[in-house]
Structure 1
Amino acid sequence: MTHPTSVQAEAPPRAPRSLISLHDLAPEDLQTLVRRSCEWYEDRRPRERPLRDRVVGTLFTHTSTRTRTAFTSGAVRLGATVIAFGPNDLQLATGERLSDTGRILGGMLDALVVRSSVGEDDLRELSRAASIPVVNAMVREEHPTQGISDIAMLSHRFGSLRGLHLAYLGEGNNTAAALALGLALVSGVTLTIATPPGYGLDPTVLTHAQKTGEASGSEIIEVHRVDDIDGGVDVVYTTQWQTTGTTKSDPDWRTAFLPFTVDEHLMARWPDALFMHDLPARRGEEVTSSVLDGPRSIAWDQAQMKLASAMAVLDWCLA
């Protein structure tokens, strides 16, 4: 007599875990990414290869030194093979639909890292069509992997971030958006974003960050004069005034930005504050060489954290 074999329903496949925006993360997700970043910052040669036999594509249609190198090197260190695509390498350049490209890449790759002029919605469409993790390595709205790297650098340097006050000076660009959305998830942090009038954060991003901060116990503030930054500051942060891949309609825009230059005089206002910059820097514009290369600058350590954070992101998405 034979007995029927019981058939167990297979669990549905896990949806691809992409990193499109820090607004999508729960606080514990960010904590995991920061912790792993700090671990690999201390030892960037992992004992295991969690991405062995995986293939990671990198699609960069804009220039990149730190982010592209970090993801390429990080993927290799974790055991993956990397296939790099430039701005004219895919049929997207001849008009193929993004979703069609995604369906093809999804059958051949395990993850895709993208820096492009497309938006977050396009990355979400690409991830859905490909059914693989897609990592936002910078689009016009946000630079989330920079935000993770920066928060990891702060955590590595300060330990607990409770009570930390970071002052960001310059354009409310995609790096500023990532800082706002990321630090909004960290309890007890204050972020003051000081921008020229008309160059602040996207209002939707600012609202998201402030609402998230209310729930987590952080504070996200936007002002439009350096003199309106209240209280003591632990870290001064700036970026290029001309964000990669963007232009400004006002031909005299630099005049509005001049009061936001980070120089020795401004740093003297907070004599114990450290200095951060996401690089590349335009020395003599947003920051002087004496500050960038000075004893309070951690910009060069910050750049090295990008490798560790790229490894953390790939591991989180794939392993």
Structure 2
Amino acid sequence: MRHLLSISDLDDDELRRLVERGVAIAGDRRAAEHARPLAGRVVGIYFRRTSTRTRTSFSVAALRLGASIVAYGPDDLQENTGESTADTARVLSGMLDAFVARTAGPTEELRTYADQQRMAVVNAMSALEHPTQALADLTTIASRFGRVDGVRVRYVGEGNNTAVALALALTRFPGTTLHLNTPPEYGLPPQVLAEATALADASGSTIVEHHDMRPCPGADLVYTTRWQTTGTTKPHPDWRDRFAPFQVDDAVLADQPGALFMHDLPAHRGEEVTAEVLDGPRSIAFEQADNKLHSAMAVLERCLAEHR
């Protein structure tokens, strides 16, 4: 059974194939839809936390590939009345072919759902990592530049679950650079930075983290996320003051001539990014959102269509 719980669970070839498949679907989505490779399959969509793009993309992806869906809200499963995750997984795996879940809790909980061999499990965001966001990001990069290898990304903001997934994914591609500008005490988790650094050393890529706003020489992309990550709280009451210097505005883009702008959305204009940047001619944030669907289709194909 093929699950997708973390970018780290994918080998280099699998990661590259998923990105390439996302690009191919973006180029000709109707071909993937016409094939309907998931006809007869049933996909459960479970979101404990709010979601616009990820929930919609996986629901639409399943439907366009021919599957049926069962949607669960945060209060719908008997886990709320004390049933264990293991028992819930045992029951669902007898009825569903795949289970796409956003828990915003520990990734280990999703591994409990995946501790069976009948139902594929997809992490649609845990507290630590957002792997399907990284796949959409790399699909966008590959679509725009024709490659991921050698691309230089400047990430501005908290080392949150989006940044974690991006760090674990981009460093697998030779010659890439991930330059992170993170507020002090809000960088990548130390164990993630260590793992991404080891990946970068193995692939010939680079990852650096600075707690100031120094530019990234030759950046192809500037990327930010909203300051208030879903399902998390900040440990410092003055966190907004700490984050204020890390806003992406026209001056930041002026430091990176030619760089395009990415954002995983939702965006709070006037906080992490100005309206002039998000809605400006260098922004590909909404193209990036479109690619959530294409990468979700690639993920479901990998988990189900390739293993009938």
TM-score of the alignment, normalized to the shorter chain, above 0.5: yes
2:24 & 2:250 partners in 1: Cα distance?
A: 33
Q: Could you tell me how far apart the structure 1 residues matched to 2:228 and 2:52 are? A: 16
The match for 2:139 among 123, 132, 152 is 152
Structure with greater Cα Rg:
1
Q: Which of 45, 52, 59 is the matching residue for 1:65? A: 52
Cα displacement (A) at 1:123: 0.7
Q: How far did residue 216 of structure 1 move?
A: 1.2
* Partner secondary structure for residue 210 of structure 1: helix
Aligned AA (2:233): T
Trace 1:1-319 onto structure 2 (pairs within 5 A).
Answer: 16-45=1-30, 46=32, 47-129=34-116, 131-227=118-214, 229-319=215-305
Tell me how far 1:262 sits from its aligned partner: 0.3
In 1, distance between residues paired with 2:188 and 2:212?
14
Structure 2: 5+ residue stretches without partners: none
> Structure 1 residue runs of 4+, over 3 Å off?
none
AA in 2 matched with 1:18: H
Q: How far is 1:130 from its partner?
A: 6.3
Secondary structure at the counterpart of residue 103 of structure 1: helix
3-state DSSP class of the match of 1:87? coil
* Contact 1:59/1:112 (<8 A) preserved: yes
- Provide the C-alpha distance between the structure 2 equivalents of 1:182 and 1:42, rounded to a whole number of angstroms: 22
Q: Give, as a single letter, the amino acid of the residue that structure 2 aligns with 1:233.
A: A
Does the 8 Å CA contact 2:159/2:187 hold for their aligned counterparts?
Answer: yes
Percent identity, please: 54
3-state secondary structure, aligned to 2:223? strand
Instruction: Determine the C-alpha separation between the residues in 2 that align with 1:83 and 1:286.
Output: 35
How far did residue 44 of structure 1 move?
2.0
**RMSD value over aligned CA atoms?**
1.0
Aligned to 1:11: none
Aligned residues between the structures: 303
Cα contact 1:57–1:82 (8 A) shared by 2: yes
Structure 1 regions of 5+ residues with no counterpart?
Answer: 1-15
Deviation at 1:99, TM superposition (A): 0.2
What does the per-residue CA deviation read over 1:127-168, in whole Å, with 9 as the maximum and x for residues that have no partner? 114642100000101000000110010001001233321000
After superposition, the C-alpha distances for 1:196-244 in whole angstroms (9 at most, x for unaligned) are: 11000111111111111111111111111112x4422110000001100
Q: Aligned partners of 1:117, 1:307: CA distance in 2, in Å?
A: 20
Shift of 1:49: 0.8
For 2:156 and 2:36, the matched residues in 1 are separated by 40
